Amino acid sequence: MFPPSTRRLLALAVALPSLVCAGFVPLHDFHDHSPSPTIAKHLPPGTKWYHPRDHPAHRLFARQATNNSTGSFPSVGSPAWSAAYPTTTPDSSQLPQAWVNALNEAVQAGKIPNIPPSTLVNGNPTYPSGYDPLGSQVCSGTYKCRNPDDIWDAPEGILGSGFDDGPTEFSPTLYSFLKNNSVKATHFMIGINILWNPTAFEQAYVTNGDDIAVHTYTHPYMTTLSNIDLVAQFGWTMQILYDSTAGKVPRYWRPPYGDTDERVRAIALEVFGLTTIVWNQDTEDWSLTTGGTTMQAINQSMTQWLTGTKSPGLIILEHELSAESVQAYMDAYPVMIQNGWKLQSVSEIQDGQPFRSDGGILDVNDSVGATSSTTSSSATSSSSSTSASSSHPASTTGTSSTLRSSATGTVGATHQSSAGSRWPISSALLACVAGLFFTLA
């Protein structure tokens, strides 16, 4: 129904691919792939938003520290740090060999379903004839197919706190509010937004001690990408997170627009060890600035959900994309508390049960190479009855120096990809156009 991410198109139009992979060295084979869903279900639950140090995915991101003699990571926001990451859609022809090898091994091992990428037809990811998006072979999240290994619901009585598309210029207000109210949240971050907003990233990660998850590098419809382009989107987001957290490898990702399928899920999990977290309610707060929903409509929806059934619990799609979306959360917060919801970060939810325990593995200040407990992660999840909207915002940040110089370098565009969308096409198109102007404002 609409075009893909406005920002991505702009990026493709105006930006030169620029990869500066300072210090990368080809790594050896990546034999121990991330836990398969079958295996993971039998492992003890993990304890953190990131994998333990002995998880094989670490091999993809560990590198010889050539930036200084101490082997430490460059300071977040420093020139050496900034120079190490793509400033636009990552160039998949210039990836670290370890990532390419890991993909090739997973494909050769038969772990990556051989289904074609979708193509955007009137803005909707569409598969070739013979590939049913609701069938088990494809199982598209856009079409509301629930893979049982994805996380859609929270346990009874629990509200999973999570925010997409940060860090942005509007994030600090949210982060301060969360900290002042002792709310632990998961931030599904866009890689390039971290690059443009390092101070806000540090506030979420260091000051708040919040959980960080992957929301891709430039926020594309992931099912439209080739295998190697998927590797680029996952890999670079995880690399900037790894380098910015003294070597932590995140365990979770959320697909932009909720757009995932069996191939994308498999690459996320088998190559990178990422489990998919979706949502079961959508405020559509991403459209507040583009003529979509209104604060009143969000308040009504929130009141309905928060005063309704607690089984299953709630995972509400919310954003740190605009002042308005942040305000919508802050307005709803008292209602959450008044109605007795237990708030947890989304990444504390696993297999229908909260998994955070006292068995911490690493602290924020842990150094690279520290040994950890052998606690293994689990990739299981529950799947239950609450319907999910597949509408979802798009947001990327400045993907070129030109775009970066506009506003503050972090902008969002709105879209909706769902085949079962609740939004009129005309409104959505209007929102996209409005989003473009907003982006360039």
User: Smallest gap, in angstroms, from Cβ of residue 170 to Zn ion?
Assistant: 14
191 or 256, CB closer to Zn ion? 256
101 or 417, CB closer to Zn ion? 417
Answer yes or no whether residue 282 interacts with Zn ion by CB under 5 A.
Answer: no
Answer yes or no whether residue 318 interacts with Zn ion by CB under 5 A.
Answer: no
User: Smallest gap, in angstroms, from Cβ of residue 177 to Zn ion?
Assistant: 20
112 or 394, CB closer to Zn ion? 394
Residue with tokens 């915002």: 393
Angle between helix axes 171-180 and 323-338 (nearest 10 degrees) is 20
User: Smallest gap, in angstroms, from Cβ of residue 256 to Zn ion?
Assistant: 5
Answer for the pair 430, 23: CB distance below 8 angstroms, yes or no.
Answer: no
Angle value at C-alpha 310, between 305 and 314, nearest 5 degrees: 60
DSSP letters for 174-214: HHHHHHHTT---EEEE-HHHHHH-HHHHHIIIIIS--EEEE
With contacts defined by CB under 5 A, name the span among 121-129, 163-171, 206-214, 309-317 that binds Zn ion. 163-171
User: Smallest gap, in angstroms, from Cβ of residue 309 to Zn ion?
Assistant: 27
Nearest-angstrom CA–CA distance, 208 and 139: 36
With contacts defined by CB under 5 A, name the span among 8-16, 28-36, 89-97, 254-262 that binds Zn ion. 254-262
With contacts defined by CB under 5 A, name the span among 119-127, 161-169, 242-250, 308-316 that binds Zn ion. 161-169
Q: Which of 220, 256, 313, 435 binds Zn ion (CB under 5 A)?
A: 256
Among all residues, whose Cβ is closest to Zn ion? 164
User: Smallest gap, in angstroms, from Cβ of residue 219 to Zn ion?
Assistant: 6
What is the chain's length?
441
Q: How many residues of this chain bind Zn ion (CB under 5 A)? A: 3
User: Smallest gap, in angstroms, from Cβ of residue 439 to Zn ion?
Assistant: 14
User: From residue 336 to residue 375, what is the string marking binding to Zn ion with x (rule CB under 5 A)?
Assistant: ----------------------------------------
User: Smallest gap, in angstroms, from Cβ of residue 310 to Zn ion?
Assistant: 27
Answer yes or no whether residue 165 interacts with Zn ion by CB under 5 A.
Answer: yes
DSSP letters for 127-163: PPTT--TTSTTT--TTTT---TTSB--BPTTEEEEEE
Answer for the pair 289, 407: CB distance below 8 angstroms, yes or no.
Answer: no
With contacts defined by CB under 5 A, name the span among 102-110, 137-145, 148-156, 255-263 that binds Zn ion. 255-263
Instruction: Tell the burial category of 59 from Cβ atoms under 10 Å away from its Cβ (0-12, 13-18, 19+).
Output: middle
164 or 262, CB closer to Zn ion? 164
- Under rule CB under 5 A, which residues in 395-424 are in contact with Zn ion? none
57 or 189, CB closer to Zn ion? 189
DSSP letters for 207-249: IS--EEEE--SS---GGGS-HHHHHHHHHHHHHHHHHHTTS--
Angle value at C-alpha 105, between 103 and 109, nearest 5 degrees: 120
Please name the residue ranges forming H helices in 267-322: 272, 295-306
Q: Which of 149, 150, 153, 164 binds Zn ion (CB under 5 A)?
A: 164
With contacts defined by CB under 5 A, name the span among 156-164, 309-317, 339-347, 367-375 that binds Zn ion. 156-164
Rounded (10°) CA dihedral 167, 173, 176, 181 = -110
193 or 375, CB closer to Zn ion? 193
Taking each continuous run of H as one helix and of E as one strand, the counts in the chain are 15, 12
With contacts defined by CB under 5 A, name the span among 158-166, 236-244, 272-280, 300-308 that binds Zn ion. 158-166
User: For 85, which DSSP code?
Assistant: S
Classified as helix, coil or strand, 410 is strand
- Under rule CB under 5 A, which residues in 18-77 are in contact with Zn ion? none
DSSP letters for 351-406: TTEE---S-----TTPPTT-----PPP-------S--------B--B--SHHHHHS
User: From residue 113 to residue 152, what is the string marking binding to Zn ion with x (rule CB under 5 A)?
Assistant: ----------------------------------------
User: Smallest gap, in angstroms, from Cβ of residue 340 to Zn ion?
Assistant: 29
278 or 332, CB closer to Zn ion? 278
221 or 272, CB closer to Zn ion? 221
**CA gyration radius for the chain?**
20
Q: Which residues belong to the active site?
A: 164, 319
Q: Residues in the site for Zn ion, rule: CB under 5 A?
A: 164-165, 256
